[in-house]
Structure 1
Amino acid sequence: MGSVDGERRATAALEASGLDFVVTRHGRVGSLEEAAAARGVTPADVVKSLVVRRGDDDYLFVLVTGDRAISWPKLRALLGVSRLSLPDAGTALDVTGYERGTITPFGSLTAWPVVADERVLGRRVSIGAGAHGVAATVDGDALVTALDATVADVTQDASGR
């Protein structure tokens, strides 16, 4: 699956969602900070779409702002499970159709459930759109609604605090 296919799937899903969004194309970047600068937003406004494995053939997306990291204890408590893990890049590609760095819930091969950290709300955010250097800027509240996401405090400071 090429990045053109990924971008096409993500953009079609964004359009089908009824979201008001603006696509930004900036090519590959080396860091979240570079991506934020290229998109004209702060790192906190970049939303990372992380694939989390809950069990055999059971995954979910966790939306995390760029300045935060998943808090595994908080996420396990929310989901009522004792074990979660991040799949390797190959598995993430198999279950979403997107390479790491291009993953988005929009146009995923399977519509896995979505958990959004509460910090996604109340701001314009930039979320990946299925290809390297392609993103969609959307209203965070509308994003959460369009994805029927569960909203909760599931992150910690990126430095681990």
Structure 2
Amino acid sequence: MLDGFIIEHGNALYDGGGLYIRYCTTQIRNVLLRDNQATRWGGAVYTQNGSNPEFFNVLFVNNSSGSAGAGVMASSDATFVNCLWYGNSTTDLAGAIYKSTSVVVQVYNSIAWNNASSDGNDFNFSAVIENSIFKDANGSNGNISQDPVFVAPDKGVFSLGDGSPG
């Protein structure tokens, strides 16, 4: 388990600017991944080979990738609970999470906002996203697309402000 860390300013030649998770089933809790970059996939995190990580209360902020998945590239099953993706960017697909076609990624009670990608989407999937806020949400499974109204995101304060739908 990885709990209570800040992982920042990582720079990967290929994948996973902050964390590269391979052959490891683990939990990541209360971690801030910010200002990491990868020249290919997963600006903050790259998962691979049946790793099946679980993320709880993790913030993915201002990460970037040269290919898909500005925040996370999931090439293995992964679960995200109470997570935030904010200000991540890629010139390819998925500003928050890009998942490979053969894996299951689950997102619960999380927020993806102000991320940039070539397709304009936070996720390249919609199968298991529930009770979350993201700009391309269609209202199903308790998901909404309204601005979460953060108190001061430019200062790293992601508390919800007055008028927040969350």
Please classify the TM superposition score into its range, dividing by the shorter chain length: under 0.3
Structure with more of its chain in strand, by fraction: 2
The two structures have a TM-score, normalised by structure 1, of 0.23
Higher relative contact order (CA closer than 8 Å, sequence separation 6+): 1
